[in-house]
Amino acid sequence: MTAPAGLAPTPTPATPGVTPLLRHTAVPRWLWLAPALALLPALVPFAHLIGRVLGSGSRIGEVVLSAETGRLVANTGLLVILVITSTAIIGIGAAWLTEATDLPARPIWRVVVALPLVMPSYVIALALLAATGSRGYLSDLTGLNIPSLTGLPGAWLTLTIATYPYVYLAAGAALRRLDPAHEEAARGLGAGPARTFRTIVLPQLRPAVGAGLLVVALYTLSDFGAVSLVRFDSFSRVVYAQYAGRLDRTPAAVLAVLLVLLALVVVWAEWRTRGHAAYHGRPVRRTPRLAALGTRGRVIGIATLGALATVSLTLPIGVLLAWAGRATEAGRDIPWQGMQGSLTAAALAAAVAAVLALPTAVLLTRHSSAATRWVERTAYAVFALPHVTVGLAMVFFAARYLGGLYQSLAVLIAVYAAVFFAQALGPVRAAVLQVSPSIEEASRSLGAGPVRTMLRVTAPMVRRGLFTGALLVFLTTMKELPATLLLRPTGFETLAVDVWSAADSLLYSRAAIPAILLLLVAALPTYLLTRRER
Amino acid sequence: MSPRLLGAALALVVAGTACGDNDSTSLTVYVGRSETLVAPLIEQFEAESGITVEARYASSTDLAATLREEGTNSPADVFFAQDPASLGAVAEAGLFRTLPDSVRTLVPSQFSDRDGLWIGLSGRSRVVVYDSTRLSPDDLPADSDGLLDPVWRGRIGIAPSNASFLAFVAAMILERGEGATRNWLEGIAANEPQIFSGNAPIVAAVDQGTVEVGLVNHYYLYGLIADQGASTAVNHFFTTAGPESLVMPAGAGILATSDHDGAEEFIAFLLTAESQRYFAEETFEYPLVPGVDAPVGLPALADLAQPDLDLSDLAGALDLATDLVAAAGLL
């Protein structure tokens, strides 16, 4: 970094508005309850599965040491690197354009840019496959011979579209929270807009963007639907192939454990590059000054976002509409049951995850220790578990030990909340980091207990982060498929299940309506996610 | 708010969402088939019998694994599966009870378990689907060994992790032995096939012109044609009596732990002429009850040459089939 000392917002006590992180010596023990409740529904069945794998003894070395495993790790690593690079560029760039500039119609752009979040990656993959290839819609439309998007390019594009909104939303929320004083100081000291962005804004976005990119990387690791449709040889595809193909689940479980180790490497890498930054803005909120783009800048900005929306939204929606257009009467029925199921499950999962994320975030930021760092790593590792693994492990476990709860909505919700907990934790943790501990200190010194302080002082100040976390869990739950299929109560439908069921039989015209509904239902939460706080 | 109160509130939230539906009068069916395809048939049964069906849809393999895991705790009354291997896996675990003769005699014995633990309901034939804009039937291989010809390098689509491909490999193991099957798989691998996750994506890819030929089950193509009106993809039925021509029944069995009278009624319903016609007309599968016509435009079931093997043995060869497929580097 070439910025003069004092310009860079490194969190030294000398930086204005920054207070050193205070650490309480005594960690309230009940704080540990929250991450335990959140993560155990995924961890216990998984541990049970591992126990069985180890107990069975056979094949473990054989699976781990195969040359194939090395190739898969390399393939998957390459895909992850490509996807996090493209999503970082798109996510941060789009967030800057829609949050920090005077681009016209920003509220609309914010929804448009974020909306692909709700499309299941396998729907994006299906749409891209239908659009490309020598007989695809695009070739028909343009008369050109557009090659089919398979393999690495297909996986890269599909997962980029499916996941860049995570970075975009994280970066956008962080930009909205920025204290403009730092920027103004930089500009006042003579730094240009580009340099200010690079040296002042970008480092402050680091925790939020890092959390977003971590979600992207782990999503890419565990995604099965898209990679198998575009036929990219990734780790999770092979885990699934082992599951699908045999009754003996040992090899699949071993590979799943390897996948979790891979996820831990990613989490560790993010941890290493994160540093231990804490940016506590002053608790004064001002509207930041927007960068003036000028006419030429606006045209370029709109063209860029337009191109992004064309690929990530118009193309898949166009394909869905073409499918819906040829639907018979039965195919045009509104799947009310699926809609009700999706909304119920997603709302409950979001509520549970957010409620448990707050105490966990307080634990992670205010009582940081080696143990709490493992809580966070575990949350991300659970997020990276292939859902088919979690689902099956839970079937194994619940059928034996949970009695009446087996195949109940409660178990499904608990699993959703567990696997998506990291998504709620990311924004809440980032929000808590931006609250100066001195305020909590004041509350404590005035006689309020830790619970009261958390609920009456911290919670209101991080409500935006809580809301963001809940909405992210809501939107991701809406599109979840493998665990839903395995754990849902008998007769319970979701829109994602409706889409899959039809598409799996090549009845695309019937898959179109629930897929479009999924987008429509998600539009409002997406709008709320991108709305500016008044 | 005390920590204890917080915990209690959370417990309430979780408990409030627990609304497991344990209606003892309804018939619980684990359905390893496409909901879109068979849900209308199940609704028809409910209307005619007055029995409420709780249908649980997932892949056949997953449901078989689930049933084996649930053991005697299973809430299921009937397992309605897509392939003989999944049914065989449940039978092998001793979880099915013997079906009554009144049901068993409705279907030719070759399509059911030899001990009457499960019964075939509809037939699905292995075929080669090909791109008719680039190939004619004369270009196609005569049997599965024909695919080993280097001329097919890079042009074949297969779904090695799919239950029906594995059933085909298991059939090859039963017919030719492990060594010959290993050789065949290595030969196919040397021909650099394109690997898909299932039958449906192969048929879609042949329709799109991305791959020239694919080893699939016959009925996917007709679903695609029904949905989009036409396709340049065409099915070719092998005329050889090898594993490549295997007709695999989708079928059903009754769980030994079930005491629901509706279970037998449900299976009998799926074997009525009306239901069998539904399979022919809506899912394009072969009716197995004699006297009901094959789907329009398809060769008659009796004309499809069949390998000489007992489908009851298929499940036993499944894990070996997966091992061989994995060893050939195809998984």
pLDDT at A58 (0 to 100): 58
Judgement on whether residues B223 and B131 belong to the same structural domain of the protein: yes
- CB contacts of B64 in chain A (<8 Å) are 247
Q: Are the Cβ atoms of A413 and B17 closer than 8 angstroms?
A: yes
Domain span including residue B166: 124-246+317-327
Asked, for residue B236, whether it belongs to a domain, the answer is yes
**Smallest CA–CA separation between A502 and chain B, in Å?**
6
Question: Whose CA is closest to B77, among B256, B250, B251?
Answer: B256
Residue A3 pLDDT exceeds 50: no
Rounded-to-integer distance, Cα A135 and Cα A147, Å:
9
pLDDT at A278 (0 to 100): 54
Q: Are the Cβ atoms of A408 and B326 closer than 8 angstroms?
A: no
Q: How confident is the model at residue A61 (pLDDT cuts 50, 70, 90)?
A: low
**Smallest CA–CA separation between B319 and chain A, in Å?**
5
Rounded-to-integer distance, Cα A460 and Cα B25, Å:
49
Residue of A nearest to B231 (CA): A135
Rounded-to-integer distance, Cα A145 and Cα A133, Å:
7
Residue of B nearest to A225 (CA): B197
Domain CATH number, residue B177: 3.40.190.10
Q: What is the mean pLDDT of residues A327-335?
A: 74
Of A134, A246, A399, the CB nearest to B319: A246
**Smallest CA–CA separation between A136 and chain B, in Å?**
6
* CATH fold group of domain A59-278+285-330: MetI-like fold (1.10.3720)
pLDDT at B27 (0 to 100): 96
Residue pairs between chains A and B whose CB atoms are closer than 8 Å: 191
Q: How confident is the model at residue A386 (pLDDT cuts 50, 70, 90)?
A: confident
Of B21, B69, B319, the CB nearest to A490: B21
pLDDT at A9 (0 to 100): 37
- Which residue stretches of chain B have pLDDT < 70? 1-24
Judgement on whether residues B128 and B234 belong to the same structural domain of the protein: yes
Judgement on whether residues B118 and B215 belong to the same structural domain of the protein: no
Which residues are B194's β-sheet partners?
B157
Asked, for residue B129, whether it belongs to a domain, the answer is yes
**Of A220-224, A257-261, A279-283, A330-334, where does the model show the most confidence?**
A220-224
Residue A120 pLDDT exceeds 80: yes
Judgement on whether residues B147 and B215 belong to the same structural domain of the protein: yes
pLDDT at A276 (0 to 100): 56
Total structural domains within chain B: 2
| Burial track A149-158 (b if 16+ CB lie within 10 A, e otherwise) | bbebbbbbbb
Judgement on whether residues B128 and B117 belong to the same structural domain of the protein: no
Judgement on whether residues B207 and B323 belong to the same structural domain of the protein: yes
**Residue of A227, A247, A340, A454 best to disrupt the B interface, most CBs of B under 10 A:** A247
ipTM, 2 dp: 0.78
Please check whether residue A435 is in contact with residue A19, taking contact to mean a CB–CB distance below 8 angstroms: no
Judgement on whether residues B239 and B323 belong to the same structural domain of the protein: yes
Judgement on whether residues B132 and B242 belong to the same structural domain of the protein: yes
**Smallest CA–CA separation between A130 and chain B, in Å?**
8
pLDDT at A340 (0 to 100): 94
Of B13, B54, B227, the CB nearest to A506: B227
Question: Helix (H, G, I), strand (E, B), or coil: what is residue B153?
Answer: coil
Angle at which helix A294-309 crosses helix A67-99, to 10 degrees, equals 140
Please check whether residue B216 is in contact with residue B224, taking contact to mean a CB–CB distance below 8 angstroms: no
The one-letter code for the residue type at A291 is A
Question: Each residue of A13-32: pLDDT tens digit?
Answer: 333 444 444 444 567 788 89
Asked, for residue B9, whether it belongs to a domain, the answer is no
pLDDT at A97 (0 to 100): 93
Of A241, A326, A348, the CB nearest to B331: A241
Helical (H) or strand (E) element with B96 = strand B96-97
Question: Each residue of A169-190: pLDDT tens digit?
Answer: 889 888 887 777 877 888 888 8
Asked, for residue B14, whether it belongs to a domain, the answer is no
Of B18, B196, B329, the CB nearest to A68: B329
Residue A405 pLDDT exceeds 70: yes
Asked, for residue B4, whether it belongs to a domain, the answer is no
pLDDT at A112 (0 to 100): 93
Give the Cβ contact number of residue B168 at 10 Å.
Answer: 25
Judgement on whether residues B118 and B199 belong to the same structural domain of the protein: no
Residue of B nearest to A72 (CA): B331
More confident residue, A284 or A384: A384
Q: What is the mean pLDDT of residues A119-144?
A: 88
Judgement on whether residues B195 and B321 belong to the same structural domain of the protein: yes
Judgement on whether residues B101 and B130 belong to the same structural domain of the protein: no
Residue of A nearest to B206 (CA): A135
More confident residue, A235 or B113: B113
Which tokens belong to B97?
């009870």
**Smallest CA–CA separation between A455 and chain B, in Å?**
8
Q: How confident is the model at residue A64 (pLDDT cuts 50, 70, 90)?
A: low
Of B18, B68, B208, the CB nearest to A408: B18
Q: Are the Cβ atoms of A503 and B75 closer than 8 angstroms?
A: no
Give the Cβ contact number of residue B13 at 10 Å.
Answer: 15
Of A408, A452, A502, the CB nearest to B36: A502
> Domain spans of chain A?
29-46+336-492, 59-278+285-330
Phi-psi label, residue A506: left if phi above 0, alpha if psi -120 to 50, beta otherwise = left
Which residues are A279's β-sheet partners?
none
Residue A45 pLDDT exceeds 50: yes
Note the CATH architecture for domain A29-46+336-492.
Orthogonal Bundle (1.10)
Q: What is the mean pLDDT of residues A380-392?
A: 82
Q: Are the Cβ atoms of A247 and B65 closer than 8 angstroms?
A: yes
**Smallest CA–CA separation between B237 and chain A, in Å?**
20
Judgement on whether residues B113 and B136 belong to the same structural domain of the protein: no
Which of A328-332, A346-350, A404-408, B29-33 is predicted least confidently? A328-332
Asked, for residue B13, whether it belongs to a domain, the answer is no
Asked, for residue B2, whether it belongs to a domain, the answer is no
Q: Are the Cβ atoms of B62 and A486 closer than 8 angstroms?
A: yes
More confident residue, A48 or A314: A314
Percentage of residues of chain A with pLDDT beyond 90: 32
Which of A15-29, A154-168, A305-319, A408-422 is predicted least confidently? A15-29
Rg (CA), chain B: 21
pLDDT at A388 (0 to 100): 77
Question: Whose CA is closest to A45, among A404, A477, A488, A402?
Answer: A402
The one-letter code for the residue type at A218 is L
Q: Mean pLDDT across chain A, nearest whole number? A: 83
Q: Are the Cβ atoms of B322 and A233 closer than 8 angstroms?
A: no
Q: Are the Cβ atoms of B20 and A409 closer than 8 angstroms?
A: yes
Domains A29-46+336-492 and A59-278+285-330 share a fold: yes
Q: Are the Cβ atoms of A508 and B228 closer than 8 angstroms?
A: yes
